[in-house]
């Protein structure tokens, strides 16, 4: 067995012996009562971003969807396979979560790829098509920053992309209906890998602000 897989195997043994036993009753309750997650978390597949860790959530708290770039494809009523779309529909209409979080992050490889000239091949055709969901964010970022300050431009692309994904969420009938009813709330986050901070999108000021300032005074 690969040495890295041995690490995972050892980690699983520790989970069974310690973590599972600590939460055994909670897991049993989740089986008996079913899942009732508080939120749908749409995040990037990046291995450095761990939704449960950065939110302090436990089993049953988050319904999680992860993909390249934390993108949300616009609603498309056809009979093709739509993994992210089906998860959104399930969370909004079956699980009836109260909140949906789209969480981008710093140093995102998908966002950086938007600003590269990658040649299409048979090995990346699906990836390049998926990355098209970030093209509008790329255009806005280039207009705002140009190419002089690449780091600032990339960070801005990451953030503005989150806003575009929130717009795409509203193309889903089940999401739009519940948002209009006031039973579903959408949130845009940007996680800083380098310092662990999270910023949230304030749709009144059209800026990202520290999540800590948003939660101050909230019990």
Two structure tokens written together for 54: 């950065």
Query: Consecutive 10-residue runs of the chain (219 residues): their mean pLDDT?
Result: 82 92 92 96 98 96 98 95 97 98 98 95 97 97 89 97 98 98 98 98 96 66
pLDDT digits (tens, 9 = 90+) for 24-57: 999 999 999 999 999 999 999 999 999 999 999 9
Q: Which CATH number fits domain 35-214: 3.30.160.20, 3.40.1050.10, 2.50.20.10, 2.40.240.10?
A: 3.40.1050.10
The strand pairing partners of 43, in sequence order, are 66, 103
pLDDT for 214 equals 75
Q: Other C-beta atoms within 10 Å of 49: how many?
A: 19
| pLDDT value of residue 148 | 82
CA dist 167 and 163 (Å) reads 6
- Domains in the chain: boundaries: 35-214
Q: What pLDDT score does 218 carry?
A: 46
Place of tokens 């960070």: 155
Report how far residue 31's alpha carbon sits from residue 153's, in angstroms, rounded to the nearest whole number: 46
Instruction: Count CB neighbours of 96 within 10 A.
Output: 13
Cβ atoms < 10 Å from Cβ of 51: 20
DSSP 53: H
């Amino acid at each position: 067995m690969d040495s890295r897989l041995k690490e995972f195997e050892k980690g699983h043994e520790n989970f069974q012996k310690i973590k599972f036993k600590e939460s055994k009753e909670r897991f049993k309750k989740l089986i008996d009562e079913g899942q009732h997650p508080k939120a749908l978390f749409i995040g990037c597949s990046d291995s450095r971003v761990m939704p449960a860790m950065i939110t302090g959530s436990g089993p049953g708290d988050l319904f999680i969807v992860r993909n390249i770039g934390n993108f949300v494809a616009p609603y498309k009523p056809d009979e093709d396979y739509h993994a992210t779309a089906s998860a959104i529909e399930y969370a909004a209409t079956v699980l009836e979560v109260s909140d949906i979080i789209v969480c981008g992050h710093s140093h995102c490889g998908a966002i950086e790829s938007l600003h590269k000239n990658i040649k299409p091949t048979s090995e990346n055709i699906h990836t390049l098509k998926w990355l098209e969901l970030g093209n509008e964010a790329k255009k806005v970022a280039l207009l705002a920053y140009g190419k002089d300050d690449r780091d600032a431009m990339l960070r801005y692309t990451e953030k503005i992309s989150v806003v575009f994904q929130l717009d795409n969420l509203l193309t889903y009938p089940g999401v739009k209906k519940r948002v209009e009813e006031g039973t579903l709330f959408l949130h845009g986050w940007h996680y800083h890998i380098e310092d662990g901070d999270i910023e949230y999108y304030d749709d009144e000021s059209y800026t990202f602000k520290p999540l800590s300032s948003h939660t101050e005074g909230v019990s």
